[in-house]
Amino acid sequence: MLLTLVLIAAGCGDDGGGGGGSGTIALLLPENHTPRYEARDRPEFEAKVKELCSDCKLLYSNATQDAAKQQNQADAALTQGADVLVVDAVDAGSAGAIVKKAKAQDVPVVSYDRLITNSDVDYYVSFENEQVGNLQGTTLIKGLKAENKPTGPVVMLAGDPADNNAKLFKKGAEDALKSGGVKIAKSFDTPGWSADKAQNEMQQSITSLGNSGFAGVLAANDDLGGGAIAAMKSAGIKPGDRPTTGQDATVAGLQRILAGEQYMTVWKAIAPEAGAAAQIAVALAKGDDVPSDLINQQVNNGQKDVPSVILKPAAIIKTNVNDVIKGGDAKASDVCKGEFKSACDEAGISST
C-alpha cells in the first residue's frame, strides 16, 4: 500500500495537471537567419516561463526554415512528454499535421506569430499583420511624396508564400498602395525570406525597368529591404532616393534608417508577444485556465475561430528609432557602433 501511495504521488507531480503543478513546454521556432528569433523571441519566452513556473521543463527547437525538420522536432517534443507545443510554423499549411498529431495525444498547440491555417489550434499570439503591411504602404507613400513621386511606381518584394503572415503583410500593403494611387511595377514573393533572393529580384527589376523606372521599394522585412538596397547600390542608384520599407526593426535595418538608406521599418515588440505566449503555455501545461483578460480577439484560421492575443505594430522612421532601443528590442551599443555613431548622435541616441 505504501509503494502504491508513493507511485500515485510521483504521478501527480509529473503530469503537469491543475493546481499549480509543473509541466513540459516545447517552443518550436521557424528559422535562425532573421535575428529576432534567437536574440529575442527565445530568451523572452524562456525567461517568462521561468518567472511563472520555475520547475517547468522547456524543450527548444529551431527548424532552420525546413518544414519537414520542424515536423520531426514536433514529433520529438511529443515523444519527450511535452504538455503543450508553442509553434511558429515554417509552413502555415503543412504545420497542420503537427497540430493533428498533438491533438491526438491531447496536447494543446499555441500558434505563435504565424497562424497555422485549417487546423484545430488552441490559441494564437501575434500582431495585426495586415496592419503591418498597411503601415509599410502608408509610410512608403509619405516617402514617395517627399521625393515628388507620389504615385511611384514601386517594386514589391513580398515574403515567403508558405508563411501565412507574408500573405497578410502583402494584402495590407497592396490595399494601402492602391488607396494611395501608387502603381506596382514589379512584384515578387520571396521564398524563405531570403535576402539573397530579394537582391536577385531587385536586380531583375532594375534590368527590366531601368535605373529610373521605379521610385521606391515595398520590401516586406528588413532582410528583403537590405537585399534591395544592395542591388540598388550595385546598379549605381543611391538608396536614399528610393524610399525602401522593412519590418522587424533589426539592428541592420535601424542602422540603414539612421544612415538614410532605408526609409522605414515596422517594429513588433517581442517582449509582450513572447510573454503572452508564455503565459498561455504555462497555464495549459499546468492544466489551469488561460487568463480570460489576456485574450482580445477571435481569429478564423479556415477551420475555427481561434482565441487570440493580437498586438499592435508601430512604424519606425529616423525620428523614432530610439523607441525600439528604449523598448529593449535593440541595444544602442549595437546600433551605434563604428560608422553609425555619428548618425546616432544626430538622432539623439546615446551609444553608452
Residue 64 and residue 177 share a domain: no
- Residues sharing a CB contact under 8 Å with residue 23, sequence separation 6 or more, in sequence order: 16, 53, 56, 57, 83, 84, 282, 284, 285, 286, 287
pLDDT at 10 > cutoff 70: no
Which residue type is seen at 26? A
Q: Does the residue 97 lie in any domain?
A: yes
Whether 214 contacts 232, CB under 8 Å: no
Average pLDDT over residues 93-108: 96
Residue 39 and residue 159 share a domain: no
Residue 112 and residue 201 share a domain: no
Q: How much of the chain is helix, strand and coil, in % rounded to 5?
A: 50, 15, 35
Residue 256 and residue 136 share a domain: yes
pLDDT at 174 > cutoff 50: yes
- Residues sharing a CB contact under 8 Å with residue 201, sequence separation 6 or more, in sequence order: 155, 157, 186, 188, 190, 227, 228
Residue 77 and residue 181 share a domain: no
CATH number of the domain at 249, please. Answer: 3.40.50.2300
Residue 284 and residue 223 share a domain: no
Average pLDDT over residues 46-53: 97
Q: Does the residue 334 lie in any domain?
A: yes
Residue 279 and residue 232 share a domain: no
- Domain around 298: 2-128+269-311
Residue 148 and residue 255 share a domain: yes
pLDDT at 9 > cutoff 80: no
Q: Does the residue 351 lie in any domain?
A: no
pLDDT for position 18: 38
Q: Does the residue 352 lie in any domain?
A: no
Q: Which of 26-35, 74-83, 130-139, 214-223 has the lowest mean pLDDT?
A: 26-35
DSSP codes joined into one string, 99-133: HHHHHHTT--EEEESSPPPSS--SEEEEE-HHHHH
pLDDT for position 350: 85
Kind and range of the H or E run holding 260? none
Residue 342 and residue 258 share a domain: yes
Residue 233 and residue 195 share a domain: yes
Predicted structure pTM score: 0.86
- The domain total for the chain is 2
Residue 273 and residue 326 share a domain: no
Exposed / middle / buried, residue 146 (Cβ in 10 Å: 0-12, 13-18, 19+):
exposed
Residue 262 and residue 167 share a domain: yes
Q: Does the residue 289 lie in any domain?
A: yes
pLDDT for position 21: 65
Q: Does the residue 335 lie in any domain?
A: yes
